[in-house]
Amino acid sequence: MASTGALMVAFLVLHMLGNLKIFTGAESFDHYAHWLRTIATPVLPQEWFLWIQRTTLLVAVIAHIWSATVLTIRARKARPVRYAHRPKVQGSYAARTMRWGGVIVLAFIVWHILDLTTRTVNPVGDRTKAYDAVVQGFAPERWWVTLFYVVAMVMIGFHLRHGIWSALQTLGVSNAKRERALKAVALVVSAGLTAGFLLVPLAVTFGLVG
């Protein structure tokens, strides 16, 4: 879980930075979107790098879910007899909602692909017009799309905060002296990514980009 999670966090950082290029204007953003399709050409045919990236991320997501399932099963088998009285466990909101939060994240990924990758549910079908797709996709009349993105990204933020902290523990980075600092790192990274991803849909919906 830690290694696949780290891979996905790295992707999110790069993806967020790319999204923020929309504030540089339509021409610059469309040029960036076109450049993504030409990475590694002519060694690879156009868009192959993106499909390799998507396939790798899909494998990482599946492996992440599989790891979570295996760990849950192992935890249950470790105590075959249930507690007669199960005491309340103090934990963060993110930790308590980690599993169903992951389901929401998965649903968001599917919608995001249909919306801004394949354009199946986006008003702009022309895949060369990335800027227009974002602007039309988060237009004020499609406020419900923006609302869904906000809810999903907040859930992803909670998931990241707990996940980053857990991964640092799993990878042996954490100890008693570093615990507070590493928790702060997890909070800053998760909050930064959440805010970065929300800037674009909110800016479009409220007319700051368009």
Count of CB atoms within 10 A of residue 197's CB? 21
Q: What distance in Å separates the CA atoms of residue 174 and residue 182, rounded to the nearest whole number?
A: 7
Residue 82 has pLDDT above 60, yes or no: no
The tens digit of pLDDT for each residue in 83-131 reads 554 554 445 555 555 666 667 778 888 898 999 988 999 999 998 899 9
Q: Which domains does the chain have, with CATH numbers?
A: 2-205 (1.20.1300)
Residues in the chain: 210
Q: What is d(CA 87, CA 85) in angstroms, rounded to the nearest whole number?
A: 6
Burial pattern 82-121, b for ≥16 Cβ within 10 A else e, equals: eeeeeeeeeeeebbebbeebbebbeebeebeeebbeebee
Give whichever of 18-27, 53-62, 151-160, 180-189 has the largest mean pLDDT: 18-27
Average pLDDT over residues 8-21: 94
Q: Rounded CA gap, 128 and 40, in Å? A: 19
Assessment of whether the complete model's pTM goes beyond 0.85: no
